[in-house]
Structure 1
């Protein structure tokens, strides 16, 4: 999957290796996969998460999961909570 990911980025000139990316990560499979691909590709990135607090403890668990993901990759974590 990594070769296709890199090919798509290059073909559409989305960004380069020297760019800093902000990944919006919900904690779902798609955004976690994007995070893993960016890490595998060696891109520089930070992780952002929006917690709308609509699902109580489940929303908090998502936030904690994404925070731990950022820690795992050694990247900054930014979270905004909405009331």
Structure 2
């Protein structure tokens, strides 16, 4: 379902801006703006999980030294 609406561009200081109509509002405080040819595409910033972030990291190719890790001493309460 494509929605379309004519909007006006205006100046906000030295920046060009567009008022986003209520039916097109994005969630949150931030968005991603990118240009593809003569089109501007505005998308909400997706919250990424820690697992998604870790999946983007390159694996480490190092050997870590063995660490002496004895069990803790018992504590008498």
Give the TM-score normalised by structure 1. Answer: 0.20
* Structure with greater helix percent: 1
Give the TM-score normalised by structure 2. Answer: 0.21
* Structure with greater strand percent: 2
Q: Which has the higher contact order (CA 8 A, sep 6+)?
A: 1
Higher CA-based Rg: 2
